[in-house]
Amino acid sequence: MLPPHRVVIAAFPGVDLLNVTGPAEVFSIATRVAGTARPGYTVRIATAAGEPVVTASGIRLMADLTLDQVHGDVDTLLVSGAVRVDGHGVEPVLDGGIIDWLREAAPRTRRVASVCSGAHLLAAAGLLDGLSATTHWRTAARLAADHPRVTVDSDPIFIREGRLWTCAGIASGMDMALAMVTEDHGPELALATARTMVMYVKRAGGQSQFSVPLTVPADPGDRIDDLRVWIGEHLTEDLSAQALAGRLHVSVRHFSRLFLRRTGVTPAAYVESVRLEAARRLLQDSSHGLAEIAALSGLGSVESLHRSFRRRLGTTPAEYRRRFR
């Protein structure tokens, strides 16, 4: 029988506990469910010097090895994230030792992934340049601003780009790990693992499925934020980049640059997210038909409504209504 997949999770002081233990538990349960008939996973925690680390919750994690002891036989390398919360908001923790080590270790590993704000570490190591990536919605704008060569999408639960994976906030590391089990062993084992853990094998939706469009908080007096408020109140009007740029009396190119810098998303993506949010609320709170919801939300047609739900939430309007009404 083939040897088990070797998973190493890199951790450092202040890491969020579930960023580490969530994926580890998925791999552990998948191994137990698989039994002796096929290889499962071995999971090890690595820290700078093999020292224990105190997580954000205050719980201490014991390490199995040092970062330097992580060699080329690693199948999957996961980098956990941590954030610092202060009066200025939420800031991702950028551990220089982890970043330097990633530059050396990542090329030797079959699959590299980040959990939550760990995407900032992958990006700082240059591993996400030219790729699409996601992270926790509260730090997505920062990731986009700091790394313009990375295409940041703040909505998906996880994104796979070849051997590079990134996922959203905390618990989504478990969703990503289930997807890895599917890739390694097939959907049957992933489904059995999800059932054992009482999880969806694939969640119907993204980070915004239970909330308003996930953007940075509004700053009264900021022209872009004033425009965001106006957009929310005029969903059925022309909200193209050209029309919005005209309201600010700037060129389309300059407007698009300003909007992306302020929000972390393009004007088109933001407009769609606001219209989609309106459609979701109408599905939850009203008895309107799909055609009327498409019109009231500004999405225009039932076909556009379906496309937006499929692309952004991974479900259909009817399924969303059944699930959340």
Statement: residue 313 has pLDDT above 60: yes
- Residues 192, 196, 199, CA angle at the centre, nearest 5°? 90
What pLDDT sits at residue 210? 42
Q: How would DSSP label each residue in 106-148?
A: GGG-SEEEE-GGGHHHHHHTTTTTTSEE---TTTHHHHHHH-T
**What's the rounded Cα separation, in Å, for the pair 124 and 246?**
36
What pLDDT sits at residue 69? 92
Statement: residue 181 has pLDDT above 60: yes
What pLDDT sits at residue 307? 92
What pLDDT sits at residue 299? 94
Whether the model pTM is above 0.85: no
**What's the rounded Cα separation, in Å, for the pair 22 and 67?**
21
**Average pLDDT, whole number, for the chain?**
87
Q: What average pLDDT does the segment 142-163 reach? A: 89
What pLDDT sits at residue 225? 80
What pLDDT sits at residue 215? 42
Q: What average pLDDT does the segment 88-111 reach? A: 90
Q: How confident is the model at residue 90 (pLDDT cuts 50, 70, 90)?
A: confident
pLDDT tens-place string over residues 233-260: 899 999 999 999 999 999 999 999 999 8
What pLDDT sits at residue 138? 85
